[in-house]
A and B are shown apart, each in its own frame.
Chain A
Amino acid sequence: MLSYFIRSVAFRHLRYSVSQSLLTIGVVAISVLLIIYLRTIIGGTQQRITQNTTGAIPHITVEPPERTPVGAWQLSSLGLDTDNLYVGEVVNLPKAREVIEDWRLWLPSLDAVDPEVATVSPIVTGQAFMNRGSRRQSVRVTGVIPERHNGIVEIEKNLDAGRFIGMVSGDVVLGQKLARDFGLKLRDKVRLVGPEGLTLNFSVAGIYTTGFGQVDDGQVFVTLRDGQSLLELGGSISSFGIKLTDLYDAENVARRMVPVFPFKVQSWVVQNPNLFRTLDAQGQTRDLILIMTTIASGFGIGSILVMVVTSKYREIGILKAMGATPGEIQSIFVLEGLLLAFIGCLVGVPLGVLLLKGLAAIRSVGPDGRVDAPFLIEIDPMLLLGASLVAMATGVVASYFPARKAGQVDPMQVIRGS
């Protein structure tokens, strides 16, 4: 416990040297502000980029296994019939479509595979032509169970008109841009032509704007059954999409799933390696800036205290002659470092919060015409606490060496006047 003597001398030093104290407090406050600002802004930017990338795609995709070509010489070792294999004979293999046939059996296992799984959505997907009057455009047809798929892409929340959840056979839900291009309104009729030429009529049940280009333009949603019919998949699906509670854990969950399921399981991280590398590099740059800022702040506190110790050399010597122990003298200056850092935090944290709140209130019009906040800002109390703790630890570490020097002042040298 710090004694009354230590506390009073430390407090009085700081109060008496107002300009030095204010300078140091300013240095600490700016570094705390920078830590809070950089972590929040860069964290928010990373979160926004990640959300923009993953918002319209599953965190994990479960697809049919890739077919690996097998050499003729390997057939017998795999237990396959080689009696009727003739070299030179041309065989037209049926065009294999990579689908998951018994998806209903797998669905409960996928639902329960990991506590982090939030939604599993069976999906059929393929290209089709959308016709209305003389207009014809290639679109991506996605057949889904709306109640499940809304957990993958939030269509229902972003509807401009109509419905998504509750859509029935014969309904189609599409993006605003596509609707505008085709002059479509709710309940208007539209025709979809499948890849094998099958034509089905649909009625517009919903029009949405999600902000994700790949969803809003060139994609239409139909029921899973209609999708299977149009794409002539029978009862099969193309893939499962999985959304997790923590998207950053996708790779771990995917790895845990690989040995359990006979499918190709891939996380968004593997599907977007460049994005992941960019975010990683951005994070490292941010951390480097933060480390430099913390070191600069430490040097700020340290250099001011070195000046204080040098200017108070004689007073320190007299205090020691009068009976102050080296430990007490050292504690005075460490306490000063801690107090400067603490007050710096008291100034820096509210300034940081104020700055972030100001930035969070800014609104601007995006290229898509939507009014949006350019900065994604979530003020994390743990970050405020962490930045304060880092600053205070820096204060203690930076003050240690000047404090040690003060503790070692020899009172006899002071008395001799050297």
Chain B
Amino acid sequence: MAQPVVELDRVGKTYYNGDVETPVLFDISFSIVPGEFVAIVGGSGSGKTTLLNLMGLLDRPTAGVIRVESQEVSQLDELERAKARRDRLGFIFQFHYLLPEFTVLENALMPCRMRGREFEKSQEPRMRELLKAVGLEDKLKVRPPQLSGGQQQRVAVVRSLANEPAVVFADEPTGNLDSKSGRLVFDLMKRLSRESGTAFVMVTHDDNFALEADRVIRIRDGRLVGAPTGLKGGE
């Protein structure tokens, strides 16, 4: 079995506000292997986004250990976590949040730009190909406000792959789109995951999309519910 790209070992998260403790996640353990497409589902306030934030190194767990590509990342400081996000992880959010001052191609290359001009140049041909593959070859020099919501989210999907990340975290990426555009974006993520061998972890409310994932992780009241189901890497 392939080496996991992300491993969670008895991870917990409690928020502290003065003397008030609010536990959100309890004793979460699972791993994700390269190329796997994982859906995280659960009701509102169940802890899905908190779990995604912990795996995406946007937040730190208060219990347990998280490893990315076998490196323990749970207690990295803010700068180290930023560097790890930049170099190893990709993100897609419900709202695309593209930068309106930059063209479609520049937006897609933004994570590369953070790593320097040379790296950006080296990745440009690949990103042009990816944008072409998602049907945006004639929009490369267009600015985001001139695109439809679905087109903008497709740019965000391509952007998440700019740094050839080990894993892409997607927080309800279809939640703000109509069903047709949502389907297009979902199919695109699945295709890119399959073609690039990049693992995708997607938080979704849509059971139809969840059922098409390689594996579904259900979460209720901060705990995993039942055994994760799916085609690959199930525990």
Residues of A bordering B, CB below 8 Å:
3-5, 8-9, 12-13, 15-16, 314-315, 317-326, 328, 411-412, 414-417
Contact = CB atoms under 8 A, between A and B. Distances in A.
A326 B82 CA distance: 9
B31 to A, nearest CB: 23
Interface of B: 49, 53, 56, 58-59, 78-79, 82-87, 89, 91, 93-95, 97, 99-102, 110-111, 113-114, 116-117, 120, 171
B79 A321 contact: no
Contacts of A317: 97
A325 B113 contact: no
Contacts, number: 74
Nearest to B88: A323
Contacts of A4: 113, 116-117, 120
Given A5-B113, A12-B102, A415-B171, A315 B97 contact: yes
Contacts of A325: 78-79, 82-83
Chain A at the B interface: mostly helix, strand, loop or mixed? Answer: helix
Given A12-B102, A314-B95, A411 B113 contact: no
Given A416-B49, A417-B94, A8 B58 contact: no
A288 B174 CA distance: 59
Given A8-B113, A415-B171, A326 B78 contact: yes
Nearest to B118: A4
A417 B95 contact: yes
Nearest to A315: B99
A255 B119 CA distance: 69
Nearest to A328: B114
Contact of B58 (A326, A415, A417): A415
A13 B93 CA distance: 22
Nearest to B112: A5
Contacts of A416: 49
Given A9-B99, A318-B91, 18 more contacts: A3-B114, A3-B116, A4-B120, A9-B101, A314-B95, A314-B97, A320-B82, A321-B85, A321-B91, A322-B110, A322-B111, A323-B85, A325-B79, A411-B58, A415-B53, A415-B93, A416-B49, A417-B95
